[in-house]
Amino acid sequence: MITSTPQLSSPDHTGSDIAQPSRLRSGIRRRELMLTTAMTLLFSTSSVLAGVVQGGLPWEPDAGAPPTAVTPGPWMYFTADEGAAIEALVDRLIPPDPQTPGGKDAGCAVFIDRQLAGPYGSAEALYMRGPFADGTPQQGDQSPLTPAVRYRKALAALDKYCRTTYAGKSFTEIPDSEKDKVLSGLEKDQVQLEGASGRAFFELLLQNTQEGFFADPVYGGNRNMVGWKMIGYPGARYDYREWVERHNERYPLPPVGISGRPEWVRKAD
Amino acid sequence: MARKLPATDVVIVGLGWTGSILAHELAGSGLNIVAIERGPWRDTATDFPPAYAQDELRYHIRHDLFLRPAQLTMTVRNSVNETALPMRSWGSFMPPNGVGGGGVHWNAETWRFLPSDFQMKTHLTERYGEKFLPADMTIQDWGITYDELEPYYDKFEYLCGTSGKAGNIRGLVQVGGNPFEGARARQYPTPPQKQPYGPTLFAQAANEMGYKPFPQPSGNLSQAYTNPLGVTLGSCTYCGFCEWFGCGNYSKASPQTTILPVLVRQPNFEARTQCEVLKVNLDDSRKRAAGVTYVDTSGNELEQPADLVLLCAFQLFNVHLLLISGIGKPYDPRANEGVIGRNYSYQVTSSVDAFFDDKIFNPFIASGAIGMCIDEFNGDNFDHGPHGFVGGGYMGAVQTNGRPLQTTTRTPKGTPRWGLEWKEAVAKNYLSSYEAVTHGGCCSYRDAYCDLDPNYTDRLGRKLMRITFDFHENELKMSQYLTDRLAEVVQKMGPRQFEKKPRTGPYDSRIYQTTHTCGGAIMGADPKSSALNRYLQSWDISNLFVLGATAFPQNAGYNPTDTVGALAYWASDAIINQYLKNPGPLVRT
């Protein structure tokens, strides 16, 4: 009992016999080491352990969780046909111009592929319990499908739509002006996809494409920092103190990313 | 069946700002304290190192530091006539998780509320008459005055090292500060942060219009500062990664940078991380909290008996735990009775986008709390008589970031959302456009509340909390008025074009606004209309205190953290100097 004269409890008073969670002064960081990706859930697996912190900050060397860099190479989630369609789609959402590459050369398709192959694609962090029902728009997305499944279904339906509408041609095979018509139709809900919401797919694709164009290059998009150079964003810099009060002047330094600048990094073979 | 652990003196649920403050204050009394935190331990060097803390995709877009909805979410609807549906991913607010709580990833805007905010009902009724207020508006006085809270605001600001310029020191108005603020005992601990171009232009325009612009008080420090606990913070480098991110530079005030290094060395304190409290247990009399039951990551249920239970979780989860635990009478909007879930409220923000031809703003040179603001249209600082609404907000040029995914959405009206024209507009406007903002209060209403959802459960089978909320006409009128006033200042800055974006209804849970949810277990003078007394002590269970914005009867036109911190010191003072000497209700009914 708390009484009018608080007393220190005996040393054994608090939690001394706790077996689980144990006093993981070393184990508390184990969670980080066992992460395979930065987005691994922090609660659902037995590798993520409860811990007790007492007596000092539980710091350990090399316990952080840096991002896992995307490596070039074959598609990890898309099939070859899906990958080709996505490359064509992102290159219309963000077309190349004389100054700046388009979505394809910026790596947006690779970015989306790697995202869908990971915890984002499987909706690992999201509440995915039923019942699933459609509500008002402002109640948010209520789809029971993960992003990865949504892409697969929508790309198949888009392929079917294009082949039906354009005499057997796929999205990649129709002229740019027709590609834009299809995208515009999806955006305005005028192109209907079989078994998938065309408009919802358009919104997801546009969001992910822009993510690929502007996210740190470590995730496979924004290749050579083309998105950042286009707008004049210096990237992952950390100290602008000398520049706060230099008003209306263009900041002179080129962008850096989490892994430095592209020319510093050894190119993958 | 939960395994029962040996009893402790104090159990704290959640180790964010309020849990850290309470733990540190109570540790000095020699009590044994166990803090139970749902998320992981987090520290600067390990979890937000400058090597990769500036990652917009990971932290902002994919929500790496936040609670996962898969672990716990809530359902939402705009009115009692709708079926609430779960927030499957986060949108309008971002529930925190882990040691440090929201203190890890806030913008660090450190505002005091106005003296009249604490007597809102009485003040407005006296000035405008009761009929001026809508019939379904349920605003209340707080049961505490600004003058009572002032020493505790001071204590929190000196813990944080807040950078600012006082506008009123002991009744003397200070040039360059906010002339509308309540009297403060002394100057801010550190001077204001430097201002970039946009805020400087805004302040010039505001001055020309006769307003009194002042630097926004910032928890991102203008210079190194050693707080009364002996913990030193560094100088902010204006990297522009504050809200949604941990600060890798030890320059944003957080539990990590102000309290935890001292707290964890107290021999009578221990933190259990990755342990989620399931409910507060009551003893057989149902008048006294017996402790809490929690689950660890192996799925083991453990019961932690304690003499004193302090709910220090984020606002939404404090209310959820009270509902789940059957503490207090749940609020019923039809009968207008009950207290748990009552007066849920939020924040009403808006913006004006401005596009210039001849300016380079360098939006990426930013801190979550720099900016120049005016307070002429906050609270009751202006005569509401002609306008037909109550409440207000601050407004200004607040340069929080230039992160591309968040800010390239700012293109002139009519710009396509994709294609060459979009690309050209983004390239042209990124450096030369500016967003000015208003930050308005939100009154409470009879039909805005929280209860348990009948249809959805979490992974452990507990009912989710249901939020029923929409903006009311009073707030929409307020937002239009504030946005119009802001646009006048923005126009004076000389843009080629500008666009007003007042808040419009209905409330949209998909769109981020602020994480300033509040209410649901409010403080007050009457146990029929409040869950907590003026010391944040449960009226029903005297050994239970509920901290945080949960206690706000309605929201003021400011960011909540300074008031949350001040109330934490106020409550800990009451616990140490009153409750521990004579355990029981601190206010007799």
Query: Average pLDDT for residues B319-336, to the nearest whole number?
Result: 97
Domain count, chain A: 1
Judged against a pLDDT cut of 80, whether residue B478 lies above it is answered with yes
Q: Domain residues for A160?
A: 80-123+145-230
Residue contact A139–B64, C-beta within 8 A = no
State the DSSP H helix or E strand holding residue A59, giving kind and residue range, or none if neither: none
Which residues from A are below 8 Å from B509, CB to CB?
A: 138-140
CB–CB contact A214 B405 (8 Å): yes
Give the pLDDT score at A29.
Answer: 34
Count the neighbouring beta carbons within 10 Å of the beta carbon of residue B219: 34
Alpha-carbon span B8 to A14, nearest angstrom: 6
Mean pLDDT in residue range A96-121: 98
Q: Where are the domains of chain B?
A: 3-579
How high is the pLDDT of residue A44? 35
Pairing of strands B214-215, B3-4: unpaired
Catalytic residue, from B24, B384, B472, B516: name it: B516
Return the pLDDT at A268. 54
- The angle formed by the CA atoms of residues B16, B315 and B542, to the nearest 5 degrees, is 90
Predicted-assembly ipTM surpassing the 0.85 threshold? yes
Under DSSP, the state recorded for A232 is T
Between chains, do A9 and B8 touch, taking CB under 8 Å as contact?
Answer: yes
Average pLDDT over every residue of B419-441 = 98
Interface of B with A in 398-437 (CB under 8 A): 402, 404-405, 408, 417-420, 422-424, 426-427, 430-431
More confident residue, B375 or A269: B375
| Optimal mutation site among A12, A42, A52, interface B, most CBs of chain B within 10 A | A42
Q: For the CA atoms of B303, B306, B309, B310, what is the dihedral angle to 10 degrees?
A: -90
Q: pLDDT tens, A48-74?
A: 578 899 999 888 888 899 999 999 899
Q: Do B89 and A60 touch (CB under 8 A)?
A: no
Those residues whose C-beta lies under 8 Å from the C-beta of residue A164, and which sit 6 or more positions away, are none
Distance CA B521, CA B519 (A): 6
In a domain, A2, yes or no: no
* Residue whose entry in the numeric block shows the structure tokens 């095979």: A173
- Report the SS3 class of residue B372: strand
Task: Say which residue the tokens 């263009």 belong to.
Answer: A250
pLDDT in tens, B34-87: 999 999 999 999 999 999 999 999 999 999 999 999 999 999 999 999 999 999
Q: State whether A28 and B419 contact (CB < 8 Å).
A: no
Q: How far apart are the first and last CA of chain A?
A: 68
Q: Which residues contact A167 (CB under 8 A, 6 or more apart)?
A: none
Task: Tell me the pLDDT tens digit for each residue of B97-114.
Answer: 999 999 999 999 999 999
Q: What are phi and psi of A102, to 5 degrees?
A: -90, -175
User: How many CA atoms does the CB half-sphere of A66 hold within 13 Å?
Assistant: 11
Considering only CB atoms, B405 lies closest to which of A124, A129, A215, namely: A215
Whether residue B231 is predicted with pLDDT greater than 70 in this model: the reply is yes
pLDDT band (50, 70, 90) for residue B589: confident
pLDDT in tens, B516-528: 999 999 999 999 9
Mutant choice from A10, A13, A233, A251 vs B, greatest count of B C-beta within 10 A: A233
Report the SS3 class of residue B220. Answer: strand
Question: Are B30 and A7 in contact (CB < 8 Å)?
Answer: yes
Each residue of A201-240: b (16+ CB within 10 Å) or e? Answer: bbebbbebbbbbbbbbbbbbbbbbbbbbbbbbbbbbbbeb
Cross-chain Cβ contact A29/B261 below 8 Å: no
Among candidate residues B94, B92, B118, the one with its CA nearest the CA of residue B107: B94
Q: Closest-CA residue in chain B for A249?
A: B360
**CA–CA min distance A258, chain B (Å):** 6
Q: What is the largest CA-CA distance in chain A?
A: 88
Please list, in sequence order, all residues whose beta carbon lies within 8 angstroms of the beta carbon of residue B66, skipping any fewer than 6 positions away.
Answer: B90, B94, B95, B96, B97, B105
- Cα–Cα distance measured from residue B31 to residue B64, given in angstroms and rounded to the nearest whole number: 35
A&B contacts, CB < 8 Å: 327
Judge whether A138 and B509 are in contact, CB under 8 Å: yes
Residue A15 pLDDT: 34
Q: What pLDDT band is residue B409 in, cutting at 50, 70 and 90?
A: confident
HEC string for B352-367: EEEECCCCCCCCCCEC
- The beta strand positions in B422-501, using DSSP E, are 433-440, 449-457, 463-468, 497-501
**Residues of B whose CB is below 8 A from A243:** 238, 362, 365
**A2 contacts on B by Cβ (under 8 Å):** 9, 31, 307-308, 543, 580, 583
DSSP B60: I
How confident is the model over B229-250, as a mean pLDDT? 97
pTM given for the model: 0.94
Report d(CA A230, CA A111) in Å as an integer.
Answer: 18
Distances (CA, A) of B313 to B39, B88, B101, B253, B564: 11, 21, 8, 19, 12
Token pair belonging to A208: 């992910």
Between chains, do B580 and A6 touch, taking CB under 8 Å as contact? yes
Using pLDDT thresholds of 50, 70 and 90, give the confidence band for residue A36: very low
| Of B533, B338, B420, residue with least CA distance to A183 | B420
pLDDT tens sequence across B171-193: 999 999 999 999 999 999 999 99
From CA B527, how far away is CA B10, in angstroms rounded? 25
- Which CB contacts under 8 angstroms, 24+ apart, belong to B405-411? B405/A210, B405/A211, B405/A214, B405/A215, B405/B56, B405/B57, B405/B60, B405/B61, B406/B56, B406/B60, B407/B363, B407/B435, B408/A210, B408/A214, B408/A231, B410/B353, B410/B435
**CB burial class (10 A; 0-12, 13-18, 19+) of residue B218?**
buried
Q: Please judge whether B29 and A243 are an interchain contact, meaning their C-beta atoms are less than 8 angstroms apart.
A: no
Residue A167, pLDDT above cutoff 60: yes
Those residues whose C-beta lies under 8 Å from the C-beta of residue A207, and which sit 6 or more positions away, are: none
Give yes or no for residue B11 having a pLDDT over 80: yes
**Mutation site, B365, B411, B507, B544, interface A, largest A CB count within 10 A:** B365
The pLDDT of residue A265: 72
Which pairing describes strands B342-345 and B301-311: parallel, antiparallel, or unpaired? unpaired
Name the CATH topology of B3-579: FAD/NAD(P)-binding domain (3.50.50)
| Mean pLDDT, chain B, integer | 97
Residue A106 domain-assigned (yes or no):
yes
Nearest to B237 among A52, A241, A248 (CB): A241
- pLDDT tens readout for residues B330-372: 999 999 999 999 999 999 999 999 999 999 999 999 999 999 9
Strand partners, B293: B279, B303
Partner-chain residue, chosen from A28, A92, A248, that has the shortest CB–CB distance to B359: A248
* Rounded-to-integer distance, Cα B68 and Cα A125, Å: 5
- Those of residues 44-73 in B touching chain A at CB distance below 8 A are 45-47, 49-52, 54-58, 61-64, 68-71, 73
Nearest to B435 by CA among B513, B334, B355: B355
B82 close contact with A: CB closer than 8 A: yes
Residues of A in contact with B57 (CB under 8 A): 211, 215-216, 219
Pair B292, B5: CB distance under 8 Å: no
Does the CB of B365 have a partner CB in chain A at under 8 Å? yes
The confidence score (pLDDT) of residue B167 equals 98
Under 8 Å CB-to-CB from B182, ≥6 apart: which residues? B112, B114, B115, B146, B147, B150, B168
CB contact under 8 A, B270 and A63: no
8 Å CB contact of A126 and B88: yes
The three-point CA angle B37-B42-B48 to 5° equals: 150
- Verify whether residue B320 is a known catalytic residue: no
Closest CA relative to residue B381, chosen from B554, B131, B104, B179: B179
Other CB atoms within 10 A of residue A164 CB: 10
Interface probe for A, chosen from B29, B37, B62 (most Cβ of A below 10 Å), is B62
How open is the CA angle B213-B215-B216, to the nearest 5 degrees? 110
Reported confidence tier of residue A1, pLDDT bands at 50, 70, 90? very low
Q: Is B470 on the interface with A (CB under 8 A)?
A: no
Q: Is the pLDDT of residue B12 over 90?
A: yes
Distance separating alpha carbons of residues A16 and B371, to the nearest angstrom: 50
Predicted local confidence at residue B564, as pLDDT: 98
pLDDT at A11 over 50: no
Confidence of residue A267 (pLDDT cuts 50, 70, 90): low
CA distance B271 to A26: 14
Mean of pLDDT values over A163-175:
98
pLDDT tens digits for range B553-583: 999 999 999 999 999 999 999 999 999 999 9
3-state DSSP call for residue B278? strand
Q: Judged by CB atoms within 8 Å, which residues 529-548 of B form the interface with A? A: 543
Which chain A residue's Cα is nearest to B364? A233
A18 contact partners, CB below 8 Å, separation of at least 6:
A52, B5, B302
Asked if pLDDT for residue A124 goes beyond 50, the answer is yes
* CB-CB under 8 Å, B77 with A135: yes
CB contact under 8 A, A241 and B238: yes
